[in-house]
Structure 1
Amino acid sequence: MQKEYPTRINPSEFEAELYGEWSEKGYFHADEHSKKPPYSIVIPPPNVTGSLHMGHALNNTLQDIMIRFHKLNGYETMWMPGTDHAGIATQNVVERLLASEGTSRHELGREKFIERVWEWKAQSGGTIINQLKRLGCACDWERERFTMDEGLSRAVRKVFVSLYKEGLIYRSDYIVNWCPRCHTALSDLEVEHEEIDGAFYHIYYPVKGTDIKLEVATTRPETMLGDTAVAVHPEDERYKHLIGKTVVLPILNREIPIIGDEYVDMDFGTGCLKVTPAHDPNDFLLGMKHNLENVSVMDENAVINENGGEFCGLDRFEARKQVVVRLAELGLFVAKKTHQHKVGHCYRCKTVIEPRISLQWFLNIKEMSNAAVNAVQSGQIVIKPETWHKTFYNWMNDIRDWCISRQIWWGHRIPAWYCKCGEIMVEEETPEKCSRCGSTNLEQETDVLDTWFSSGLWPFSTQGWPENTDTLQKFYPTSTLITGFDILFFWVARMMMFGLKFMDKEPFKEVYLHALIRDKDGQKMSKSKGNVIDPLTMIDKYGADAFRFTLAAFAAQGRDIKLDEARIDGYRSFVNKIWNASRFILTGYNGQKFTADTRLSLEDKWILQNLKETEEKVSKAVKNYDFNEAALAVYHFFWHKFCDWYIELIKPRIYDETKRDDAYAVAAYVIEKSLVLMHPFMPFVTEYIYKLVTDKESIMLADWEKFDFAYSEEMTEMEEIIELIGLIRNIRGEYNVSMSKQLKAYVKTDRELTKTAFAKYRDMVMNLARLEVLEMTDSAVPNASQNIAPSFEVYVSLEGLVDVEAEIQKLEKELVKLEKDHSIYGGKLKNENYLKNARPEVVEKDKEKFAEIDDKLNKVKETIERLKGQC
């Protein structure tokens, strides 16, 4: 009695159940005492405030592919999961929550506020973790970490104290990137530079005791209130005689010196540079060099302070307008010239940052950055794609000291204590009294550490460091890191530096930097554009497997992914194809096993050889991070080789009781092994079918088999037979000949092996090509359509099947329409104005349409010529 299976499967009916079973049985948990070789990955910890977006989906799908692939290949795999406390982002979330309740963190006080953040984290901070589970991530959840948990906090303190006592961490007044909204310093990496429409404001600075006026240009006229010099190049003939004199600062009438410095570009602008050390990082360095005064004219809110004279109390942008008005009244405003330039914005709240002198903690990382560069140059750490090497070296070699302190409350509080006697104590444990005067009246530093400081320790702090744990012994260094290229310097470089410094080993052996996901037109996804694709919506609609497979199939190295929902729908069809092919075999399969005694036909040997070659392609591609090539290899094999051909080829045998068992045994074996090859990409459906095809517990316990089939000769024979059948089918389709009509086909070839193969498997060809005649010929066949292959030609007689004259007339009508469209699209693509003004995605679609029309046009012309030759 045949078994019955549903014609379609609904992923929502089994995905959650299977994931729960995997978790419950501990399939994701790594055994640090295992004798298997280790393979480990640390997850780029998503912000605790986050929810799954397309970047997360791609990143974690690729990591999951690597983990599942290596687990099947006999490795002890550990994928370390966790979340980042995300200092600024989390504080902003909780502050907004407090504001909605009519209170603030300042009203609560620091201790109560921190308690409130922990409460929020317990209630809402696990959202993204649950979403990663829906994606199918095989993380070792028993090892889940948080950058603020007790163990990681201890690691952070140890590293900070160690670096401080080595003299690499220091506290100093320095100019920093200041966010007036978040009220904190930002590192250079946390500043996003955006192109804006601005202007150069040209202003006169009168030289004291003369009629000379120096013209300077600035994009921020409000900062002139803090000017402490005007700089010129010492060899500039226009101005070098003025060096040492003073100018009168407009409006405030403060005298400031004219200084000479090679930093000034004589050919840029007017050649005169206003110097505002307290509000520009380059000016700050000039100020240090020339011992200039630092005059800050803004407070922490970017509001003009008492040093700004009559503009005190104005917001910086309002002050900009008022300063220009006042300069015009004084006759010292020259002109405003529009100018596009890049302006720094806070990466969190998008507020324009303000350079500001502040007392901050810094880490001198030059020596550590050199070690990281050497590790990459020597091959100790491999970065893929290699195109990122140059960018990495340039940035690392030009690195500045890292401002590691943040003026917020949520984060790792800096372990420094101050005494009124002036002593600063930096210790791992809270000191009871001052080491100098013995006072117990100590105050801890209020600043917290930059979030990237703690996440830089992630590869070893998550594994129990500073204790020398068994987990560290087994899984450090980790095997690979997969992340987006956009945090190469935020995070990847910092992990390299800290790992090499504190573990004396690289934190990972390989780094794979994947590209960005864009919409189908290549545009960056954003809520404002309305082109954001929600991963969870896609999973609900198409299933996790189809969604994951789409991401993998488009994840080519170094190339952004253009994601179209239609593609996900297309790969859902692939999931259904896998099920329908499996269901077809399962319906008549009675558990026969593929063994050495199984009688193999030509098509069996062909599919087994294809299975072997596909495994080799997939293994090589995954190891090289060519995820798209790996995905497309299994897709092509299963859909086009197994479903389109092999199942059709064995149908005569499965309806023959004497041959049925062997056919089913091979088919079931190929399905089982194919499911293993597809499992890293599509974990759910492969597990679901695997349990039906085999009597085994789980596909996660399967072995990734290296096949030793050697059927190359049979492979060649079968490929020629498939090509022959395909060419005959093409002719049938070209002339719209119904499958109910049997054709007459004639093969011309000089190759003896081809003749032998076609004669030997004549019945197979006639059955699948629906032929009444299949004969060899030594010459061309009249009144027949011809197709050519590398080793043979095939002729299909059209006599009695096609009205040649009518077919020519029909094709000539189609030709007229195609030529018209060809002219329209070809003309557009030759029009330079159109190409210049049309949106790139529209031009791209027109190019695709033109190529499609051009291809059809050539085919129709060829067919007409061929038919006319038969008249």
Structure 2
Amino acid sequence: MDTKYNPNQFEKEIYEKWEKGGYFKAKVNPDKKPYTIVMPPPNVTGYLHLGHALNNTIQDIIIRYKRMAGFEALWIPGTDHASISTESKVVDKISSEGKTKADLGRDGFLEEAWDWTHKYGGRIKEQLRTIGVSCDWDHDSFTMDENLTKAVKRVFKKMYDDGLIYRGNRIVNWDPKAETAISDAEVYHEDQVGHLWYIKYFFEDSDEYVTIATTRPETMLGDLAVAVNPEDPRFKDKIGKNLILPLVGRKIPLIEDSYVDMEYGTGLVKITPSHDPNDFEVGARHDLGQCVVIDTKAHIVEGYGKYSGMDRYEARKEMIKDLEEAGQLEKIEEIEHAVGYSERTKVVIEPLISKQWFVKMDEFAQMCIDAYENGEVKLIPDSLSKTYMNWLNNIRDWTISRQLWWGHRLPVFYTDDGEIIVSEDEPDENGMLEGEHVTQDEDTLDTWFSSALWPF
């Protein structure tokens, strides 16, 4: 007899007996009180991590306890299609074969994605079985199943008809590797050493100047104004005068806006509406317009001389060198600041104005605020309430469209005249829908638009 217990010798066989014996199955039973857990869906193409091991173990303990306590206990398993994660894996695979998404086309790429899903999708389920979860595998679901896809379309249309979903030009978190917009929830921040570059902006036809401090000098190509706080007495006689944008030569006005913090940096802020969410709001208030200078691959756009075509960080180095040579770089200060990264591709995100689909968040946020304030929701520990309220009070509308092919395609169609039709139905073989010839939106939905519906 072995002196040590070896789980590999027993546990797989035991689990197979449990599963074949139907011990995890639940049925409608009027003699028992029902109890249900819906498993938070792990990514179909991923691996289990410690978080999955912890939350599934807790669910397993609860469901087994309820089963033994006489409840008709059902634990529903399932997996999530993980659009950006799966797509990046498939892109890497076809890239290693010398192909691109464009080479395959949408249908060809989706065939590759389904092949990948079928090949690796069973891995998560086998891992769940290995840790012994007692879920009812007859109820296994996948977020791209036909019935769930129909439900996603139905909810999108209802929210659109209710005025909760809209299409608009706003600043989004742009992932330049995946070339898609992502939500705030898909961005993580890392504290790291960076720099504040102090740059001289001269007034038109004058030797006088103001100094701007920025952590992202490459965006200055898109500056449309410089702003000061209305309460700041230092620049009262300069408001409305033009400055000459360094390296570009464009005239930009000095404006007043209460957004500016007089105590930070030099008390002046360069306003780049197309590449910063706060500047976007300032630009809208002062009708400054837009000026996109960084493209979807994080390269400088055409029209900016030698900088055009450069990666944003290459351009930064060149611009700093040129500012120094022109005598317009006053100083460089080392700082620590938080830098936003894409959770899936690990590249630094680029704030970028883009036409996307959004969910309005103000009503939802207010419901959550009210629930906390009237005691319906309690936070443990209560010290988290400050973080909770700060997040809700400053929440931005949720970007739900993704420039990806894997996922639930938006149920949005455009007529030849540009009219928008949101429909659960598909066009007929002639591309006709509601009596109009239509083209479907190319974008897919954020995975979490679908997965947030999972419990329902």
TM range (shorter): over 0.9
- The corresponding residue for 1:302 is 298
CA RMSD, aligned part only?
1.8
- The corresponding residue for 1:270 is 266
2:45 maps to a residue whose letter is T
Aligned pair partner of 1:84 in 74, 80, 83: 80
Aligned pair partner of 1:226 in 203, 207, 222: 222
**1:533-548 to 2 correspondences below 5 Å:** none
**1:363-442 to 2 correspondences below 5 Å:** 363-375=359-371, 388-432=384-428, 433=432, 435=434, 438-440=435-437, 442=438
Q: 1:38 to 1:391 in 2, by over 3 A?
A: farther
- The corresponding residue for 2:442 is 446
Q: 1:374 to 1:236 in 2, by over 3 A?
A: closer
Compute the displacement of 1:125 (Å). 1.2
Residues 295 and 307 of structure 1 are in contact (CA less than 8 Å); yes or no, is this contact kept in structure 2? no
CA–CA distance in structure 2, aligned partners of residues 71 and 429 of structure 1: 42
Compute the displacement of 1:181 (Å). 0.3
- The corresponding residue for 1:101 is 97
- The corresponding residue for 2:346 is 350
Structure richer in helix, relative to its length:
1
1:257 maps to a residue whose letter is P
Compute the displacement of 1:392 (Å). 3.1
Q: 1:130 to 1:389 in 2, by over 3 A?
A: farther
- The corresponding residue for 1:456 is 452
- The corresponding residue for 2:232 is 236
2:358 maps to a residue whose letter is F
CA–CA distance in structure 1, aligned partners of residues 58 and 49 of structure 2: 15
- The corresponding residue for 1:60 is 56
Residues 244 and 257 of structure 1 are in contact (CA less than 8 Å); yes or no, is this contact kept in structure 2? yes
CA–CA distance in structure 2, aligned partners of residues 9 and 34 of structure 1: 42
Is residue 2:52 matched to residue 1:37?
A: no
Q: 1:194 to 1:422 in 2, by over 3 A?
A: same
CA–CA distance in structure 2, aligned partners of residues 316 and 285 of structure 1: 23
- The corresponding residue for 1:171 is 167
CA–CA distance in structure 2, aligned partners of residues 45 and 434 of structure 1: 34
CA–CA distance in structure 2, aligned partners of residues 386 and 133 of structure 1: 37
Residues 304 and 312 of structure 1 are in contact (CA less than 8 Å); yes or no, is this contact kept in structure 2? yes
Residues 365 and 400 of structure 1 are in contact (CA less than 8 Å); yes or no, is this contact kept in structure 2? yes
- The corresponding residue for 1:215 is 211
- TM-score, normalized by length of structure 1? 0.51
Residues 29 and 72 of structure 2 are in contact (CA less than 8 Å); yes or no, is this contact kept in structure 1? no
Q: 1:427 to 1:101 in 2, by over 3 A?
A: same
Aligned pair partner of 2:9 in 9, 13, 31: 13
2:34 maps to a residue whose letter is P
Give SS of 1:362's match: strand
Q: 1:28 to 1:393 in 2, by over 3 A?
A: farther
2:341 maps to a residue whose letter is H
Q: 1:54 to 1:274 in 2, by over 3 A?
A: same
1:110 maps to a residue whose letter is R
CA–CA distance in structure 1, aligned partners of residues 384 and 17 of structure 2: 40
Give SS of 2:296's match: coil
Compute the displacement of 1:381 (Å). 5.9
Q: Which has the higher contact order (CA 8 A, sep 6+)?
A: 2
2:90 maps to a residue whose letter is V
Could you tell me the percent identity over the aligned residues?
50
What CA deviation, in whole Å up to 9, does each residue of 1:385-431 have, x standing for no partner? 66645433432333221110011110110000111212110011124
* Larger gyration radius, structure 1 or structure 2: 1
Compute the displacement of 1:65 (Å). 0.8
Residues 225 and 307 of structure 1 are in contact (CA less than 8 Å); yes or no, is this contact kept in structure 2? no
Residues 46 and 83 of structure 1 are in contact (CA less than 8 Å); yes or no, is this contact kept in structure 2? yes
- The corresponding residue for 2:121 is 125
Give SS of 1:294's match: coil
What CA deviation, in whole Å up to 9, does each residue of 1:335-354 have, x standing for no partner? 11111111111001110000
CA–CA distance in structure 1, aligned partners of residues 382 and 32 of structure 2: 31
Residues 232 and 258 of structure 1 are in contact (CA less than 8 Å); yes or no, is this contact kept in structure 2? yes
What CA deviation, in whole Å up to 9, does each residue of 1:263-299 have, x standing for no partner? 1111211111111011111101100010012111111
- TM-score, normalized by length of structure 2? 0.95
Residues 226 and 308 of structure 1 are in contact (CA less than 8 Å); yes or no, is this contact kept in structure 2? no
CA–CA distance in structure 1, aligned partners of residues 143 and 411 of structure 2: 16
Is residue 2:67 matched to residue 1:71?
A: yes
Residues 79 and 141 of structure 2 are in contact (CA less than 8 Å); yes or no, is this contact kept in structure 1? yes
Aligned pair partner of 2:286 in 287, 290, 300: 290
Compute the displacement of 1:35 (Å). 2.9
Residues 232 and 240 of structure 1 are in contact (CA less than 8 Å); yes or no, is this contact kept in structure 2? no
- The corresponding residue for 2:45 is 49
Q: 1:383 to 1:188 in 2, by over 3 A?
A: same
Is residue 2:199 matched to residue 1:203?
A: yes
Aligned pair partner of 1:147 in 118, 143, 149: 143
1:93 maps to a residue whose letter is K
Structure richer in strand, relative to its length:
2
